[in-house]
Amino acid sequence: MVYRDYLKLILKLIALVTIVSGLVQMLSPEFVLGFIGGVLTESTLHFFGIIGMFMVMFGGLLFHALSGSGNNPEAVLWCSLQKYGAAVAVTLGVINGLFSWLAIGVALFDLLSGILITMHWYTMIRK
């Protein structure tokens, strides 16, 4: 296996983690919000569930883009941007006291994911 194959495998795993964690967040937002120290209200639970739905969608998009026979750098680029946006949003949530410091781990995972996805996107457009 070459570097690009390993990176693609890691990104597929990231996509699957994103799908599974998004499903958990969508179906049980109180569990995830409680874990990261968020306030549990009807509104936060509702919107956190919506965020979980979009995590499932972007994780699925990334997995599909990496598994298909075609080259889809646009989809991969948008998935990297979603990860960067998530990292910023979670970090701001911690800074503003909406989440506990445990949520920084989520932000770091999203940031690292965004970087790795961007690296793969760059290899796609260089061809």
* Closest-CA residue to 76 (of 26, 4, 27): 4
Pairwise CA distance, residues 44 & 125, whole Å: 39
| pTM of the complete model | 0.92
How confident is the model over 14-39, as pLDDT tens digits? 999 999 999 999 999 999 999 999 99
Q: How far apart are CA 22 and CA 19, in angstroms?
A: 5
Question: What are the tens digits of pLDDT across the range 95-127?
Answer: 999 999 999 999 999 999 999 999 999 999 987
